[in-house]
Copies of this chain bind each other. A is one copy, B any other.
């Protein structure tokens, strides 16, 4: 069924030399006669020889592959980030296995097992909105395989992490709304379990406090990031006795959906109600009104995470470091505020 693959032995036989010599010629070992090397290289090329990663992996106990697990890639955030990670990984000679957990804890666990089975040399991961138990990830530490979190991180694990200035970004965003005269600012947040949400909420609270706006519990809502549930919460906000005059949304997809829903009701954005998002997705500048949002350096996050991972792989387990890199955010003011 499977055709015979060309091996170094085939080349050796053909040239009447030993497989050792062929191997050396192919890997660029210096102690091979120039003529021999050239003959080997030529023949390898002619026969479309391809080194067998299995045997190399078996010897080296390393796959030169790193894995990345993201919750989803239907929106632009994670694909963008993967591009950055892929760049860096490639630069360092690593291949990238990508998989998506589909925001399901179960799928995440299964994907992690797949990564393990594929003998990845390291793992990049942004957890799902459901993930509360980290046993499946701790296995990596026990096995001495580095792991790096990005975006959605696990607080209880001491490993490298890449996040953005969520709190500062949120603070700036809310302060901006206040500067536009808004006083009843709602916050549509994500699951409380995600630290990213905690930090953005902290920024929201801090901004209110600084400007002596008292916090109204009615204006803070957590939801599970399922986009079609945005409707429930937007309606809830709109039907409050004292309607909010602005909504700070946990991310851009949420904000975009909110805008869509609010436009349907005939309310004006931003006059009646301002909307602000987080992340500066590609779409955000295209919608009507264009979305004010907090830009995060997405590709940069991917690059940084990959770099941290590669550094960690190069280190001995005993020397593992666990920096948390915090990237800058920037407020992009557009027409929704």
Contacts and interface: CB of A to CB of B under 8 A. Distances in A.
Interface string A222-248: 000000000000000000000000000
Contacts of A98: 96-98
A114 interface: yes
B74 A139 contact: no
A230 to B, nearest CB: 14
B95 A97 contact: yes
Contact of A61 (B5, B51, B283): B5
A181 B51 CA distance: 61
A80 interface: yes
A201 B328 CA distance: 46
Nearest to A80: B74
Interface residues of A, number: 51
Contact of A51 (B54, B83, B117): B117
Interface string A74-116: 1110011011001000000001111110000000000001101
Contacts of A79: 73-74, 79
A7 to B, nearest CB: 11
Given A82-B73, A282-B74, A317 B1 contact: yes
Contacts of A119: 52-54
A46 interface: no
Nearest to A315: B1
A35 interface: no
Contact of A97 (B5, B75, B97): B97
Contacts of A96: 98-99
Contact of A58 (B58, B99, B144): B58
Given A1-B316, A62-B2, A83 B54 contact: no
B117 A53 contact: yes
A260 interface: yes
Contacts of A33: none
A55 B53 contact: no
Given A53-B119, A54-B58, A96-B99, 18 more contacts: A3-B143, A5-B61, A48-B143, A51-B117, A52-B58, A52-B119, A53-B118, A73-B79, A73-B82, A74-B76, A74-B79, A74-B282, A75-B76, A97-B97, A282-B283, A283-B283, A283-B286, A287-B287
Interface of A: 1-3, 5, 48, 50-55, 57-58, 61-63, 65, 73-76, 79-80, 82-83, 86, 95-100, 113-114, 116-119, 139, 142-144, 256, 260, 282-283, 286-288, 316-317
For the complex of A and B, 9 pairs with smallest distance between CB atoms: A288-B288, A3-B144, A54-B57, A54-B58, A98-B98, A73-B79, A54-B54, A286-B287, A283-B283
14 contacts: A2-B62, A2-B144, A5-B143, A48-B143, A53-B118, A54-B55, A55-B58, A58-B58, A73-B73, A74-B79, A86-B100, A95-B114, A95-B118, A96-B98
